[in-house]
Structure 1
């Protein structure tokens, strides 16, 4: 042995390790992709120096390519097996392929293994032999010239949490996390990856999801048994503990901050329940939900000026006594008041708001013991949608249902399997209506939601959707199941406010000069006002939509005299967008998906479109045509309607919503960003990042925005985005919930702000 030096020992060891390594590669060739190792557990691509976390869609796309390597996969097959939908926009597929190709880029790869085959599909050009060749070259390159083993003194890499302050610098679809150099034995990593990959491989025969069932009107109607609350004000945001012993809900009165109430639950009438109230000066407490199988209530504490928020956990095991403890978890004031604890209380599911880096909202899991953040879902949005509206964990904790509003027209109900990381579409908003909240029944067989005048139920097994009518005149916003055919419901909803005259328009002067701001009521009439637009030629004329008891109609205010312009027979839906022609002679508006034109000179109302596919109509500067958002096949694009002939012309090839004209230029939204229209394709100019607020207006080169989540108004010139002006008006917010605004073209310091002022709302016990 003395004749064998350290160099020979290293050579023999390398030879033995190479033999084992090659045998291992033969078993798991597709668990390695050149320099990348596939980490199924964390949805990452890893090499020795970095970890690249992929969005779930991209990771599933990569898995499918790996399972079908060197085979040309048609686009439709990817749609059915990866997206699991019947139709996906070509642009969405192109983006996903492009993003995955970028993610796979590595200095160790001379060319991309992901290939495009014109008119045929895509393929991943990788094989066992290529992996073996790469591994041999890689190992030969990294063998140190000096002999002799060295002790491994490096520490294992620490897992990095995805916390909000750092997330702004991360890429939209994947996160690059630098780690210490890894000197752990390569074989151990290979073995671990092999086990993880085998556990996560899809079945040999992929399951094609069944088609979504069409809506059917249920025979049974819903009956109201009795009220549960009689207090003045609004009761909403209810949550029932798993054992149905305690009911928590929010209460507000006289525009004061939200208080939180907890009481014993009973399905019978309670005259004087043993109720306790939690409140804090200068803050609002929002009910988020009960921990499953526990009497611990998750609450979010929001400062009234939206500068601070925190999560609190209240233990009501010894009700009416309770204990409270804060959660050591950062809270973003602009995030949604939607979060849920898992059964063990060590994981918190919540929605993180969109940032410039992410571009869209993310549904994440916060691991409370370790402080780590796990990205669960990041669905794409076409830009004007609300994103993930609500979600709910199934009673067994293995599935998560969520509502995703892709734009202001369409949305979907999805079911996500937390074990297999697969999702399926259960219903669309075309079937169910625009849902806001969703909840499970106790057995986990159905999902329920209220859509104004009707109760929606969706069967998880066969995707059958049924609608049951609430009693006439009753509209509900949220339901909480107490049995298979009974629930608690709150009639706190936008439907209620609109029907009962809760939409109020305020004329606001000098909004951005707080000490000079003046608020005044636009109308003293009873009823609701929806949108106000000033005639660009005659400042004394204002067109507006209103429901004064005979349905939503178009009105004209001329020198303070109000004249009704239309007599829409139905009138049940609010008018969507309202715009003047440049000569001040015509008005265009959207109603129930159709485009209508009113000529003030001829006093004539004309319908320009018949298919219910159009929203946000605006006049082109020359007044000869209308630009409108058209929604088809779950995609929104810009179209032009010729006023004279009614001829339609598609303008944008990529998704686009909310068209705006300003200074002769056409702008639109896409995935949370503002674009200037050039050709409707690649030459369009991105003006802002992807953190555009929900409500925007443009005037004379200025971008006006309103953030519905925080109540902040802002504006800045497009050519000087750093010259930002922001204001938060407590008086405006406390008098109602601002939803929409327009700018007076003659006096930019004057704005018209629509607020929803909810009438009294109570909790009810309902059956069907």
Structure 2
């Protein structure tokens, strides 16, 4: 065992307790495995120095080279993950020296046995007078902390009413889409290990020592496992190398795999498939161009029927069958709002409305309660909707909740917790150097530079809900207040003035409208007045025109607004999502639920110029100096591609896979730089809590 001088340390704001091998910050505590904690102690002993891989193998893994090589990499990953789960910045704490070793970048502060606050050794050895002052200060600080902890605990108890949370998986990478077998014995889930595709595994919930069972038999992306009522089959979504989605059924005894239907929708980590309790129907989503509807496949007749009837721009997903096998719950969402609906024999009912985002649904065994997760004031919560009382109550709160699944055999709710630590980073396009980083304990997303001031405007939930913020040289300013202004989206910054345009949905308004606002005050006025929803504004390079997507005539199309003449013209005819101007009067644009970047010339000729851009990266492109920049993703890396007018492409920057966030996460910076929204760590585990 590696010996350290103190039993407790502070590394920045994180309390390290050697007695129980735990890390603590605020009201969160994480216990580490023995070898991971021994590795941390080795870093503490050699803080601000490089701990080589050989040293770690010798000291922690006792010379076992093969185990130690894997163990050291896993240990630094586990420490980064733990800091991210606590809401702390692991990038400023740990550093990997490629092919050499690891560093603890922060000098730890040891805490004497009689002290409970981070103090330097000089203070700890000071005179009795100063010691008395320190003790009094500690008592005061502790009293304040206790007061606020009781206040916070009282508030939190209304959400997490004495629920014991248990971690079910703790693998390196993404564990998602838990699906518990009808007898409660097994859990199917997808696991995306480092540099691999999503594959489906089965875990024995009754035997911790049992190995995981891989049931994926092909190299394609697989997700959304759903058990048949007899537990002998699993339906799932399969996405091939061309991005085509199909629904499959795998027989677990014979391992016969059958494709039952094509043209389904896989959307990120949304669990988008469900098998009815009587085994007769499998529900899934399918794109209809400008909308997504829920379909049902009858296992016996092999016939398909469209169940839901969304309007243009609406997406129906996350479907779950009720215990009666007739009622289906689903989520209908548009750009920045979502609602839970149910449908039975063609009759739809709104159960929950006016939510920013909903990521999962799950019924209990009788169908009395429907669980769903949503964002409430910047936090993820699971809510319980009671069908009889027609009410929704807070059930549980945690970080980055995604999928939900009920174990009806044991009255348990399974959910996935993601670790997200996004930050806004500015990199040089010349040599890839990091020029600036904006990071807080909250989430900062979608940064853009204001060229006239060099300030950066971005979205953040640091105020408790999603708002527009401005980073100046010496301070951050909040520009919007959701309770007053309503739902906000990603703004567009003017290249020639201290203004920005944003699509906002005012409280009680039926749709988003375009507003123009001043910097740095945030003062707003309505820009355009027409009947219809709008999204994704973007300025021309000279600041004289504004492009945006709008649903004015029943279809989402690209429009161009000229500021001087106040002329509004429709450029495309339907299903388009985002556009940027070229230098010849044309536009590059993306379409809803469609891979690739399209070009519309000044004489209205449309061309598909590349299929490399994912449909989830609909806004990850910009045009500057006769060059189109966009994000290309492979299993092994994220790339920034530069495409010139001749069509020649060059890979400019390279990041680890899934580092660049989906959506509209890149924008041009100053002095040949690029601004990213980056994900500092990409990991999720599966947990369970009792529903009793």
- Name the TM-score, length of structure 2 as normaliser: 0.57
- Is 1:745 aligned to 2:669, yes or no? yes
Q: How does 1:391-540 map to 2 (within 5 A)?
A: 391-404=273-286, 410-418=291-299, 419-428=301-310, 437-449=318-330, 456-468=340-352, 477-487=360-370, 496=379, 506-510=423-427, 517=434, 520-522=437-439, 524=440, 529-536=444-451, 538=452, 540=454
Alignment of 1:221-300 (within 5 A): 254-255=83-84, 277-280=168-171, 282-292=172-182, 295-300=185-190
The equivalent of 2:491 in structure 1 is 578
Q: Report Cα offsets for 1:506-552 as digits up to 9, x if no partner.
A: 23244889995577335x5x76544321124x362333344554865
Aligned to 1:615: 535
Gap regions ≥5 residues in structure 1: 1-229, 235-251, 258-267
- Alignment partner of 1:673 out of 596, 605, 616: 596
Deviation at 1:477, TM superposition (A): 4.2
Distance across 1 between alignment mates of 2:375 and 2:324: 27
Residue 723 in structure 1 maps to residue 604 in structure 2 = no
Which of residues 226, 234, 259 is equivalent to 1:374?
Answer: 259
Q: How many angstroms does 1:561 deviate by?
A: 4.5
Superposed displacement of residue 398, structure 1: 2.0
Render the CA deviation track for 1:36-88: whole Å, top value 9, x for unaligned: xxxxxxxxxxxxxxxxxxxxxxxxxxxxxxxxxxxxxxxxxxxxxxxxxxxxx
Summarize deviations over 1:75-131 as a string: whole Å, max 9, x none: xxxxxxxxxxxxxxxxxxxxxxxxxxxxxxxxxxxxxxxxxxxxxxxxxxxxxxxxx
Change (3 A) 1:256 1:624: closer
More strand by share: 2
The match for 1:543 is 457
Deviation at 1:232, TM superposition (A): 5.8
Instruction: Call closer, same or farther: CA 1:625–1:277 in 2, change over 3 Å.
Output: closer
Return the offset for 1:438: 2.9
Match of 1:325 in 2: 213
Partner residue of 2:570 out of 638, 650, 668: 650
CA deviations over 1:608-629 (Å, ceiling 9, x no partner): 1343421111223454432211
Contact kept, 8 Å, 1:299 with 1:313, in 2: the verdict is yes
Q: Contact 1:590–1:616 at 8 Å: present in 2 too?
A: yes
Q: Distance between the aligned counterparts of 1:434 and 1:231, measured in 2?
A: 36
What is the rounded CA distance, in whole Å, between the counterparts of 2:684 and 2:237 in structure 1?
29
The whole-number CA distance in structure 2 between the counterparts of 1:497 and 1:709 is 29
Tell me the CA shift for residue 400 of structure 1.
Answer: 1.9
CA distance in 2, matches of 1:364, 1:748: 47
Give, in whole Å, the separation in 2 of the partners of 1:709 and 1:287: 20
- How far apart in 2 are the matches of 1:329 and 1:534? 47
Matched, 1:688 2:610: yes
Change beyond 3 A, Cα 1:737–1:256: farther
Which whole-Å CA distance do the structure 1 matches of 2:288 and 2:485 have between them?
26
* Deviation string, structure 1 residues 348-389 (Cα, Å, up to 9, x no partner): 433233644xx64333445674755525021589xxx86986
* In 2: Cα distance, 1:552 partner to 1:469 partner: 18
How far, CA to CA, are the matches of 2:517 and 2:247 in structure 1?
Answer: 44
TM-score norm. by structure 1 comes to 0.52
CA RMSD of aligned residues (A): 5.1
Following the alignment from structure 1 to structure 2, what is the Cα–Cα distance between the partners of residues 416 and 373? Answer: 14
**8 Å contact kept, 2:665–2:676:** yes
Residues 600 and 627 (structure 1 numbering): CA distance in 2 closer, same or farther, change over 3 Å?
Answer: same
Contact 1:676 1:687 in 2 (8 A): yes
Gaps of 5+ in 2: 1-26, 32-80, 87-159, 382-396, 401-419, 506-511
The yes-or-no answer on 1:337 pairing with 2:223 is yes
Instruction: Say if 1:500 and 1:543 are closer, same or farther in 2 by CA, change over 3 A.
Output: farther
The answer for the alignment partner of 2:141 in structure 1 is none
Rounded to whole Å, the distance in 2 between the matches of 1:583 and 1:272 is 55
Change (3 A) 1:428 1:652: same
Does the Cα contact within 8 Å between 2:630 and 2:642 map onto a contact in 1? yes
CA–CA separation in structure 1 for the residues paired with 2:357 and 2:537: 32
Is the 2:577–2:590 contact (alpha carbons within 8 Å) kept by the matching residues of 1?
yes
Q: Which residue of 1 aligns with 2:5?
A: none
Pairwise CA distance, 1:685: 1.9
Call closer, same or farther: CA 1:489–1:615 in 2, change over 3 Å. Answer: closer
Q: State the partner residue of 1:598.
A: 517
State the Cα deviation string for residues 418-451 of structure 1 (Å, max 9, x = none): 42422223253889x8666332222212223578
What's the counterpart of residue 549 of structure 2?
629
Deviation at 1:654, TM superposition (A): 4.9
Task: Decide whether the 8 Å contact of 2:201 with 2:216 is kept in 1.
Answer: no
1:447-501 per-position Cα deviation (integer Å, ceiling 9, x unaligned)? 235789997341332332231479x999884434232212556668996259999
* SS of aligned partner of 1:648: strand
1:687, CA displacement in angstroms?
A: 0.6
Change (3 A) 1:284 1:588: closer
Deviation at 1:716, TM superposition (A): 3.7
How far apart are the structure 1 equivalents of 2:482 and 2:565?
24
Q: Is the 8 A contact 2:546 2:561 kept in 1?
A: yes
Structure of larger gyration radius: 1
Q: What is the SS of the residue equivalent to 1:723?
A: strand
Count, aligned residues: 489
Measured after TM superposition, the shift of residue 396 of structure 1 is 1.8
**Aligned residues of 1:618 and 1:626 also touching (Cα < 8 A):** yes
Residue aligned with 2:365, SS? strand
Q: Structure 1 residues 477 and 288 mapped into 2: Cα distance closer, same or farther (>3 Å)?
A: closer
- Cα 1:343–1:427 change in 2 (3 A) is same
Structure 1 639/430 Cα, relative in aligned 2: closer, same or farther at 3 Å?
closer
Matching residue of 1:698? 622
Of stretches 368-377 and 750-759 in structure 1, the one that deviates more from structure 2 is: 750-759
1:606 shift after superposition: 2.9
Q: In the aligned structure 1, how far is the partner of 2:530 from the partner of 2:244? A: 33
